[in-house]
Chain A
Amino acid sequence: MTIKTVKDAINDALVQSFEEDKNVILMGEDIAGGKGREQYQGTQDAWGGPFGVTQGLYTKFGGERVRDTTIAEAGFFGAAIGAAMTGLRPIVELMYVDFAGVCFDQMMNQAAKVRYMFGGKQKVPMVVRTVVGAGFRAGSEHSQTLYSLYTHIPGLKVVAPYDAYDAKGLLLSSIKDDDPVIFMEHKRLYMTSCEVPDDLKPIPLGKGRIRREGSDVTIIAIQRMNLFAEEAANELEKINISCEIVDPRTYSPLDEELIFQSVKKTGKVIVVDESNPKCSLASEISSLISEKCFSDLKAAVIKITAPHTPVPFSPPMEDFYIPSTKKIIDAVKKLKDV
């Protein structure tokens, strides 16, 4: 057992995938950090992206497979699709998910649809690694989560790991997967750590995880919200309220059965999602529960989300924007009294 940060676990999964399959390549802005400048030979990948996640890959695997791109997401996303169709397994890095807009056509209309609309002859085994999340004082254009934007599109898969264990196991699976996968890394989780076995097997997409067993209330927590759910559950345990925490981990496909089982057990549900509320994962999960588990529910599902605003910059406002441990505790107490 080794203690790993999310950042290192992702780097490990990349290295392992590169070693296992020569068809794996990586493309993105600054992933090496300005490949090709002769005076920096040997230290060309010192930067490894703004969060240092891809550090070392250029030196290990060379510029043919680890490609710095221009700031041209439509160009290199499109290239990843063509490369994937013809035999490579490209991983592309979208530096912040907020940049989705400049290459959304490639994901929505090409990556997601070529298999379906051209008669099932092609596959697009590519992974988009991207950075999501508020709490970095990064302002409105570098802080969104946008989970539901991609989850909405048939043909795409969406993965958002919380801890280092899941980050490694799910990235290994995503790279082996034959469909296009959006792999979302939360910038506030990169430096969090947990035990990760060196020989961790890939974790199948579409399997959620019960992070904490409990009997009174189910908290369905999306990515970083697991942190607050855990804090809330610890506090509530002191007053004899038992919370079950469900981490779906992947949003397309979604482990609906795992969610329904927990709802059947507790009959009381809170969904915590850092995204904006409208047409969000929170609203989708809540709708599925009322459709499939209506008779098991003892109260209406409570959604805790960000408000319907862009992510604000100033700390007091941003802290207000992000769902909090306190909000979860209050909601659980409210449900407990039902």
Chain B
Amino acid sequence: MIEKEKINWIYKKIFTIRFFEERIKQIAKEKTVPGYLHTCIGSEAICVGVMAALNQDDWISSTYRNHGHAIAKGCELNEITSEIYGRKTGICKGRGGSMHISDFSKGMLGSFGIVAAGPAVVLGAALQEKINKSNKTCVSFFGDGAIHNGAFHEAAGLAKLWNIPMIFVCENNGYAEATATDWHLNTKELSDITKAYDMLSYIGDGNNVFEVYDITKKAISEAKQKNTPIFLEFKNYRFSGQYEGDTQLYQPQEEIDKARQNDPIKLAKENSSKYDLNKNDLEKIINEAKEEVDKAFDFADTQPWPQPEDALEEVYVNYPVEIKT
């Protein structure tokens, strides 16, 4: 049984992420939003399901498709939105942008724009936890495209060799950028690639937030108990393009229509009665989520731009020579 508070949290987060992403997509169509936007419509259940199994101070890494992870990990919506708009009060003071939404104080080691950069960084955090005999959970999120990259394999090999109980979370959303997973995969199942490392792996339905939560929770406990890394593959579908403005010509309409039947938000709604959420409760959560998203975008609109010279700050902790223009 999942406690009532957690169920409410899960529902609130999953709707917040969907509304947030739909809203930023719409805004990007209507006016100029600086830079690239990689929305995560279709990944909400993975973001929320995994994070439901974590504490706020557990460590994660994310990618350029990070809005959902950041929201689920507890980053402030106002700060996320301001960052996307490039404002001074953004979560990274306007120095990161949509691809780098990350708040270290919320347990985010970073949202990396380089595919497969995250797993090794999380391995390091997990090594630190092991050496300091601390017990924070360490999770790296990445997409199916990352599993061909050497940095992922190097991290996987060392994690197993060093008995590091970290969790690799692969969001298999059907596409590595514009390249279909069924085209780029050499193995029958994506998670088969971990066999070379003798690493435990589990596959789950990435559209079902409760299944994701359940599998993740068990995996964390097993990893810590057995002192071993575990690889989780959650299958879902990327309704968004690689980025906003992507024509998505490579995604057949019938494929999208079929995937809609398993939309994580649709499934969450359908399952709500199973978790003792009546129609009114659900409506209340949905309205709260909508309202918070609206407020965040209103907030960001009013926020000041950084001063140009703010660009010179915080390159180093300490640099005795002036950083000049």
Q: Mark A256-292, 1 if CB is under 8 A from B, else 0.
A: 1000000000000000000000000000000000000
Q: Which residues of B contact A154 (CB under 8 A)?
A: 315, 323
Q: Which residues of B contact A206 (CB under 8 A)?
A: 319-321
Complex CA distance for A79 and B153, rounded to whole angstroms: 13
Tell me if B117 and A109 are in contact (CB < 8 A): yes
Complex CA distance for A110 and B162, rounded to whole angstroms: 23
Q: Which residues of A contact B289 (CB under 8 A)?
A: none
Complex CA distance for A109 and B100, rounded to whole angstroms: 12
Tell me if B109 and A82 are in contact (CB < 8 A): yes
* Contact segment of A42-50, A115-123, A139-147, A209-217: A115-123
Q: Which residue of B lies closest to A155 (CB)?
A: B315
**Known contacts A72-B157, A179-B318; is A118 also within 8 Å of B92 by CB?**
yes
Instruction: Indicate which residue in B92, B114, B129 contacts A86 across the interface (CB closer than 8 Å).
Output: B129
A18 at the interface (CB under 8 A from B): no
Q: Which residues of A contact B162 (CB under 8 A)?
A: 67
Tell me if B151 and A75 are in contact (CB < 8 A): yes
Q: Which residues of A contact B59 (CB under 8 A)?
A: 82, 86
A9 at the interface (CB under 8 A from B): no
**Known contacts A83-B124, A85-B104, A88-B131; is A157 also within 8 Å of B316 by CB?**
yes
Q: Mark A186-215, 1 if CB is under 8 A from B, else 0.
A: 000000000000000000111000000000
Complex CA distance for A25 and B127, rounded to whole angstroms: 11
Complex CA distance for A25 and B128, rounded to whole angstroms: 10
Tell me if B120 and A106 are in contact (CB < 8 A): yes
Tell me if A118 and B102 are in contact (CB < 8 A): yes
Q: Mark B106-128, 1 if CB is under 8 A from A, else 0.
A: 00111111100101111111111
**Known contacts A106-B117, A118-B110; is A86 also within 8 Å of B155 by CB?**
no
Q: Which residues does B use to contact A, with CB under 8 Å?
A: 59, 61, 90-93, 95-96, 100, 102-105, 108-114, 117, 119-129, 131-132, 150-151, 153-155, 157-158, 161-162, 313-321, 323
A-B contact pairs, 27 of them (CB 8 A): A25-B131, A70-B157, A72-B154, A76-B120, A76-B158, A78-B119, A78-B121, A78-B151, A82-B59, A82-B127, A85-B104, A86-B125, A87-B128, A87-B132, A88-B132, A106-B117, A117-B96, A117-B100, A119-B95, A119-B96, A120-B93, A121-B103, A121-B105, A122-B110, A154-B323, A177-B318, A179-B318
Q: Which residues does A use to contact B, with CB under 8 Å?
A: 25, 64-65, 67, 69-70, 72-88, 90, 102, 105-106, 109-110, 114-123, 154-155, 157, 177-179, 204-206, 253-254, 256
